[in-house]
Structure 1
Amino acid sequence: MTRDRHAADDAATWVHRLDQPAMDTAAGAAFDRWMDADARHRDDFADMQALWHSDALAEALRAHAVATPPRTVAAPLVRRFRPARYAMAACAALVAIGLATPALLTTTYRAGHGAGRSVTLADGSRVDLSGDAELRVRLLPWRRDATLAQGEAFFDIHHEADRPFTVHSGSTDVRVLGTAFNVDRQADDRITVQVYRGAVSLDSAHGEQVVLRMGQGARVVADRLAAKPAAFDLTQHRAPDWRSGWFEASDVPMGVLVDKVRRYADQPIRFADPALADRRVSGRFRISDPDRVLGAIRAAYGAEVRRNGEEIVITSNEAAHD
């Protein structure tokens, strides 16, 4: 068996043993040694323990029973099925039908086009998602992980000193214990973070790390910290601009601005020339009013904006008049 299968089998066995009314000292010591033998055992055990008391396991077993010839689930065999063997069979059922425990423990939240969404996580944390955002959350007994796959999210994290919360976005990690902060995934290699309460540790793929405190923000571009932490005015910005339909751009690619407008536009938007998406823009834009932003792009940045019935196309003035 592969390492994953071995680990799942062992974790299932330990979950079953720890569920018994009593366990002797020797078994407890053996469990401690198993947990210490590999850092991944903690996650394996947490995954299986969470499944053990969830509907997901019952569903997996039902699916396995349907796919198994009737003779293998005959009554006499069920009566002889001891708890320990049930533990291993349950684990085998999960593997047999292709269910990975991390996937079962991960909840995905998506916000529709043009509208945000607020969700309350099982630990009491609250997350506000921008339009067209996707967030995947995995809560374990000793850590909490979230992946911002696209869009923007404002996190208000419930404080748990022994269970840190980490947000992964692209190759950037934001680690917190209890705070309120915003993560904007502007591209796979372009992330901005602003802290509204508490503090976070921002880690880039190149090993750079910076601590951001309340009223500070930073940007990671091309997997590197783009600059030192910069202060923003909390009296003027009590919440992220996107929650009120705005975006404040400071020397960012036009493509970042247009991506935010896409959350609200009634048609797809594309650049006829990809190089135009790299043109730098600055200003404060009401992204919830796409026509207004597209008009500003036309007026200030030498671009033409055309609707062809199916989509909105942004071209340079030179290309438009060729």
Structure 2
Amino acid sequence: MSRPDISAIDGGNPVEQQATAWFVRLRADDASERDRQAWQQWLHADPGHRAAYGRIEALWSSLGDFAAAPELATRVPRPRVAPRRAPRPRRWLAAAAAATVLACATGMAFLLLAPAAVESAYRTGIGERRSLQLEDGTRVDLDADTRVQVRYDHRGRHVRLDGGRAFFRVARDSERPFLVQTSAGSVRALGTRFEVSRLGNAADVTLYEGSVELQGSADAARPAARLGVLVPGQRARMADQRMQVTDAAVAAGSAPGWLSGRLVFNDTPLPEAVAEFGRYSFKPVLLADPGLASYRVSGVFRGEDVEGFIQALGEVYGIPEHHTADGSHVLGNAP
């Protein structure tokens, strides 16, 4: 037998089944170099394969002496094994027993441990950016002053953006959808690249690659409503159970400017531009004149160069500036 019968164990997660079959095959007495090469190809074909195989290895190690306990098979239904044409060699008996125990243990682990999930929280401070790699290979870049909570289980991958902005490069995993939640709504994706930014009670989503589905916010009395689907190059603002789509003018395969410290404004309302600089400066910029809310800004600035931003506003719009005792920048004349 040159490769494992990945359909031998019926039921459950197909990727977990494949990982179990490879784990058992590689521990058989007649495992060949060809088997190991085929396993390596399978392992590198999808980040989800590597994650599943790692979970099987960890589960087997955690069983210890309990792996041979008869109670394991009595608490979980015995897996159905596909019939074979030829008798199985005796050297496969130990591997077959391992397959049965692993299948039972995997099933019991999901039954007993499914409510538990791997949860992590990450945050960045003023002027700080951070790059993360999650367990499935997904990369998340956090802009300054950002807070996220990550929750992974066998049914899904969930990220909650509590504040700030993040850029996601999602690893494809058809068994576990990837969901980014905000107070204004959520973003559902498979393998794709997109940015989500919190703006008060609203959220902006910019799609760089792939496809995402936007959903409104949900509560106990109302399930999430489907708002629509974005295509690359579009940006949508989610607020009040609606979305408004505009062209984002981003090139396919590109990334947000803030990853390299640049803030890019394209007809951006002045209050939003000021809020962007607030992520990078301990000395906030305040708008003293409510009339300034109607001003719009276009240009490229360094995130840490708030002085250059204020100088540009003065040159283009003639907006005066003064400082408070704590060093805050105040724009405009108070009414």
**Structure 2 Cα separation of the partners of residues 44 and 260 of structure 1:** 45
Q: What is the CA distance between 1:309 and its match in structure 2?
A: 4.1
**Structure 2 Cα separation of the partners of residues 279 and 155 of structure 1:** 31
**Structure 2 Cα separation of the partners of residues 251 and 165 of structure 1:** 31
Aligned with 1:243 (options 239, 246, 259): 259
Q: Does 1:194 align with 2:206?
A: yes
Secondary structure at 2:74 match in 1: coil
Q: What is the CA distance between 1:203 and its match in structure 2?
A: 1.8
**Structure 2 Cα separation of the partners of residues 123 and 276 of structure 1:** 48
Aligned with 2:307 (options 276, 283, 291): 291
Task: Mark the CA change 1:168 to 1:43 in structure 2 (over 3 Å): closer, same or farther.
Answer: farther
Aligned with 1:46 (options 95, 101, 114): 114
Q: What is the CA distance between 1:115 and its match in structure 2?
A: 1.9
Deviations 1:142-172 (A, max 9, x none): 1111111111111011111010010012222
Residues 276, 315 of structure 1: 8 Å contact kept: no
Residues 285, 293 of structure 1: 8 Å contact kept: no
Q: Does 1:203 align with 2:215?
A: yes
Deviations 1:7-28 (A, max 9, x none): xxxxxxxxxxxx9511357899
Aligned with 2:74 (options 2, 23, 40): 23
Secondary structure at 1:47 match in 2: coil
Task: Mark the CA change 1:280 to 1:164 in structure 2 (over 3 Å): closer, same or farther.
Answer: farther
**Structure 2 Cα separation of the partners of residues 313 and 138 of structure 1:** 39
Deviations 1:58-98 (A, max 9, x none): xxxxxxxxxxxxxxxxxxxxxxxxxxxxxxxxxxxxxxxxx
Q: Does 1:215 align with 2:204?
A: no
Q: What corresponds to 1:281 in structure 2?
A: 296
Deviations 1:102-124 (A, max 9, x none): xxx43111112112100111222
* RMSD after superposition: 3.2
Q: Which one-letter code corresponds to 1:286 in the other structure?
A: F
Residues 217, 231 of structure 1: 8 Å contact kept: yes
**Structure 1 Cα separation of the partners of residues 260 and 324 of structure 2:** 30
Residues 139, 170 of structure 2: 8 Å contact kept: yes
Please report the TM-score for the alignment, with normalisation by the length of structure 1. 0.62
Q: What corresponds to 1:300 in structure 2?
A: 316
Q: What corresponds to 2:164 in structure 1?
A: 151
Residues 201, 239 of structure 2: 8 Å contact kept: no
**Structure 1 Cα separation of the partners of residues 231 and 122 of structure 2:** 27
Task: Mark the CA change 1:138 to 1:113 in structure 2 (over 3 Å): closer, same or farther.
Answer: same
Q: What is the CA distance between 1:131 and its match in structure 2?
A: 0.7
Task: Mark the CA change 1:223 to 1:283 in structure 2 (over 3 Å): closer, same or farther.
Answer: farther
Residues 260, 287 of structure 1: 8 Å contact kept: no
Q: How do 1:23-172 and structure 2 match up within 5 A?
A: 23=74, 46-48=114-116, 50=117, 105-172=118-185
Q: Which runs of 4+ in 1 moved over 4 A?
A: 24-28, 42-45
Deviations 1:13-46 (A, max 9, x none): xxxxxx9511357899xxxxxxxxxxxxx99952
Deviations 1:150-197 (A, max 9, x none): 1111101111101001001222210011111111212222x2212222
Q: What corresponds to 1:234 in structure 2?
A: 251
Task: Mark the CA change 1:291 to 1:181 in structure 2 (over 3 Å): closer, same or farther.
Answer: same
Task: Mark the CA change 1:174 to 1:43 in structure 2 (over 3 Å): closer, same or farther.
Answer: farther
Q: What corresponds to 1:269 in structure 2?
A: 285
Q: What is the CA distance between 1:301 and its match in structure 2?
A: 4.0
Q: Which one-letter code corresponds to 1:234 in the other structure?
A: A
Task: Mark the CA change 1:122 to 1:210 in structure 2 (over 3 Å): closer, same or farther.
Answer: same
**Structure 1 Cα separation of the partners of residues 330 and 152 of structure 2:** 42
For structure 1, which runs of at least 5 residues remain unmatched after alignment?
1-18, 29-41, 51-104
Please report the TM-score for the alignment, with normalisation by the length of structure 2. 0.60
**Structure 2 Cα separation of the partners of residues 21 and 301 of structure 1:** 74
Q: What corresponds to 1:76 in structure 2?
A: none
Residue correspondences, number: 232
Q: Which one-letter code corresponds to 2:208 in the other structure?
A: Y
Greater mean deviation of Cα atoms: 288-297 or 128-137 = 288-297
**Structure 1 Cα separation of the partners of residues 176 and 275 of structure 2:** 34
The structure with more radius of gyration: 2
**Structure 1 Cα separation of the partners of residues 184 and 111 of structure 2:** 22
Residues 195, 217 of structure 1: 8 Å contact kept: yes
